[in-house]
Structure 1
Amino acid sequence: MNVAIYPGSFDPVTNGHLDIIERSSRLFDRLIVAVLRNPSKKPLFTVEERIEMIKKSVSHIKNVEVDYFSGLLVDFARLKKACIIVKGLRAVSDFEYELQMALMNKKLDEEIETVFIMTNAKYSYLSSSIVKEVASLGGCVKELVPPLVAEKLREKFNK
């Protein structure tokens, strides 16, 4: 069984993330969307809120589960018996950082492979940071995120 992990902060999950999740779910027997719990960052949404939004957004995909982790991704991968890490790439600028991370993960555990999936061109500009900024200024994000996430953003920013 090929088990893959798609890690990220997902603060919040965007349609670009969902595109990578849907496409990855067709490539692997099981896909774990792993929400990073990073105490040094100040996310807009709690880990629990992010997990809930992702679960509701991917409930139609049967081989996807959602979990969270902190610490080293390779340790979480071993715990989940995953041998593949999925990373979405929007642009060349993403590749340099993600390549560095993939090589470090390989150094930490040579059994784990990283698979890069190019984003759909219509999401190449999209990031959680941009979504939060637009939402915080009262802009419409309904075509950028699932409806549930758009509603949660409106609640957070009272817009």
Structure 2
Amino acid sequence: MKAIFPGSFDPIHAGHINIIKKASVLFSKLYVVVSNNLEKTKQTDIKIRAAQVMTICQQINPHIEVIINDQILTSDFAKKIGANYIVRGLRNNNDLKYEMELAFANKKLNENLETIFFVADYGLTEISSTFLKQIKQLKK
């Protein structure tokens, strides 16, 4: 079974890594897909983010492949590489609502695509890439 775990990973953090570890055990092939988030401004270059993610994923599981999706809708990208599952992480109720809407939209666009939710381990639920970037800016 193939799955994709899409995200901007700007930066990749312990919550992402937690979900990647869980998903890599469940799926025979996991693609961690580094994408641009149109809602986020001032993102780190996508190639730099992909290299950072690749360094971490190589230490987790050899069945993980890191790839870049710069332009294609997630549902179309999954179809293109033959993945029928999207992995998404949940931290709280707000994530659940947003992720369910996203799952319904992806299913509408690609009927063979199922979304699998993983709950972040306790202690990792308050981590977000946006929050980490804000802290980094404050320290400058």
Q: What is aligned with 1:126?
A: 127
Q: What is aligned with 2:7?
A: 8
Q: What is aligned with 2:88?
A: 87
Q: What is aligned with 2:75?
A: 74
| Deviation, structure 1 residue 115 | 0.3
**Cα contact 2:79–2:110 (8 A) shared by 1:** no
Letter matched to residue 83 of structure 1? N
**Cα contact 1:11–1:43 (8 A) shared by 2:** no
| Deviation, structure 1 residue 109 | 1.2
Bigger radius of gyration, 1 or 2?
A: 1
Q: 1:96 and 1:45 mapped to 2: Cα distance?
A: 27
| Deviation, structure 1 residue 134 | 1.1
**Cα contact 2:90–2:119 (8 A) shared by 1:** yes
Letter matched to residue 64 of structure 1? I
| Deviation, structure 1 residue 38 | 4.4
Given the two structures, how large is their TM-score scaled by the length of structure 1?
0.82
Q: Percent identity?
A: 36
Q: 1:132 and 1:41 mapped to 2: Cα distance?
A: 11
Q: 5 Å matches for 1:52-67?
A: 52-60=51-59, 61-67=61-67
- Give secondary structure in 2 for the equivalent of 1:62: coil
**Cα contact 1:11–1:44 (8 A) shared by 2:** yes
Q: What is aligned with 1:45?
A: 44
Given the two structures, how large is their TM-score scaled by the length of structure 2?
0.93
Cα shift readout 1:122-147 (whole Å, capped 9, x = no counterpart): 11000001111111112xxxxxxxxx
Q: 1:78 and 1:85 mapped to 2: Cα distance?
A: 11
Q: 1:110 and 1:50 mapped to 2: Cα distance?
A: 30
| Change over 3 Å in CA distance of 1:59–1:83 after alignment to 2 | same
Q: Flag structure 2 segments of 5+ consecutive residues without an equivalent.
A: none
Q: 2:138 and 2:3 mapped to 1: Cα distance?
A: 36
| Deviation, structure 1 residue 37 | 2.7
Number of residues paired by the alignment?
138
**Cα contact 1:3–1:84 (8 A) shared by 2:** yes
Q: 1:43 and 1:23 mapped to 2: Cα distance?
A: 30
**Cα contact 1:37–1:68 (8 A) shared by 2:** no
Q: Stretches of 4+ moved more than 2 A in 1? A: 37-44
- Give secondary structure in 2 for the equivalent of 1:137: helix
